Amino acid sequence: MTIPLNLMPRINLGEWASDAVDWLTTHWGGFFDGVANVLNSIVGHITDGLLSAPIIVVVIVLAAIAFLSRGWKLAIVAAVGLLLIDSFDEWSAAMETLALIVVAAVIAIVLSIPIGLLAARSRIASAITRPVMDFMQTLPAFVYLLPVLFLFGLGQAAGVLATIVFALPPGVRLTELGIRQVDAEMVEAGQAFGATSGKILRGVQIPLAMPTIMAGVNQVIMLSLSMVVIGGMVGAPGLGSDVTAALTSLQIGQGAEAGVSVVILAIYLDRVTAGLSRTAESPVAKARRFLRRRQASPQPAVVTQS
């Protein structure tokens, strides 16, 4: 007598997932093709703009951004790092990677901050988003790459979508955390001065939560950059494609040059985003200025009945 090894009956999750992707491909194929074309067009235009400009102009512009965010030291480091990428003959690949990261990070930030605000203000939304974010953050990238490839095909669009899925959760989590950590007394002060819920959100909660929100933005950008190799595996051009080619052909030199170029871009983006949050007006000062304006504005008269 054979003793069954499985205690539970077979659940055909793989077949259900395959059928779902087939159904989406059949009925929504035009929609996914349109999204892929839009993403490919946006990334392509940004890449063409970066590559059509002289290298020295791009270096000066990026160094100027670094100067505005953190000062002359970061500007010099940025310029040296970018010129080092050019000396590796990885400039074109680096600009393709930068364009992909910009598009993916902007979309992820635009989606994550409103979702985080909604989750912070609604217990139901928080209860829904928390397991979804857990699933997105813990699911290995290679698991959802296959359906992404089927729906969007090889190329930049698949790399952008995979990057968005991977980088979105920290933006949502830290936005929600920042809003929830705002001092309740500041919110009550705004309510006492007659400010509406929306004005309190814009004038008190978001400014006070801005350091945490910017930390989430920084994490979104860093995680986007960490996906460049995965993007190369699904046909996205750039440094990830060079790293993948070096791995498959065991070219240590090519892999080292592409890897160091990724590190330089990571350091640049990390320092710039961190510096931009520091150069902004103090969140507490913004909130206090808002409350002072509310206090100075005429308050509605309270009508009492005798």
Tell me how many domains the chain contains. 1
Indicate if the pLDDT at residue 294 is higher than 60. Answer: no
CATH number of the domain residue 34 falls in: 1.10.3720.10
Q: Which residue has the higher pLDDT, 248 or 215?
A: 215
Domain presence at residue 25: no
Q: Which residue has the higher pLDDT, 174 or 192?
A: 174
Tell me what pLDDT residue 69 has: 82
Indicate if the pLDDT at residue 264 is higher than 80. Answer: yes
Q: For the residues of the chain, what is the DSSP string, one character each? A: -PPPS-SS----HHHHHHHHHHHHHHHHHHHHHHHHHHHHHHHHHHHHHHHHS-HHHHHHHHHHHHHHHH-HHHHHHHHHHHHHHHHTT-HHHHHHHHHHHHHHHHHHHHHHHHHHHHHHH-HHHHHHHHHHHHHHHHS-HHHHHHHHHHHH-SSHHHHHHHHHHHHHHHHHHHHHHHHHTS-HHHHHHHHHTT--HHHHIIIIIHHHHHHHHHHHHHHHHHHHHHTHHHHHHTT--SHHHHHHHHHHHT-HHHHHHHHHHHHHHHHHHHHHHHHHHHHSPPHHHHHHHHHHHHHHSPPPPPP---
Indicate if the pLDDT at residue 303 is higher than 50. Answer: no
Domain presence at residue 74: yes
Q: What is the pLDDT of residues 192-246, one digit of tens each?
A: 767 777 777 777 788 888 888 888 888 888 888 877 777 777 777 777 777 777 7
Q: Which residue has the higher pLDDT, 179 or 154?
A: 179
Domain presence at residue 101: yes
Percent of the chain with pLDDT over 90: 8
Tell me what pLDDT residue 163 has: 85
pLDDT band at 301 (very low <50, low <70, confident <90, very high): very low
Tell me what pLDDT residue 284 has: 55
pTM more than 0.85: no
Domain presence at residue 19: no
Cα of first residue to Cα of last residue in the chain, in angstroms, is 91
Side chain identity at 5, as an amino acid letter? Answer: L
Tell me what pLDDT residue 57 has: 92
Q: Which residue has the higher pLDDT, 288 or 248?
A: 248
Tell me what pLDDT residue 302 has: 44
Contact assessment for residue 127 and residue 119, using Cβ atoms and an 8 Å cutoff:
no
Q: Which residue has the higher pLDDT, 297 or 83?
A: 83
Indicate if the pLDDT at residue 24 is higher than 50. Answer: yes
Domain presence at residue 12: no
Indicate if the pLDDT at residue 3 is higher than 70. Answer: no
Q: Domain range for residue 195?
A: 30-295
Q: What is the pLDDT of residues 43-76, one digit of tens each?
A: 888 888 888 889 899 999 999 988 888 788 888 9
Indicate if the pLDDT at residue 144 is higher than 60. Answer: yes
Dihedral sign (CA 240, 230, 66, 41): positive
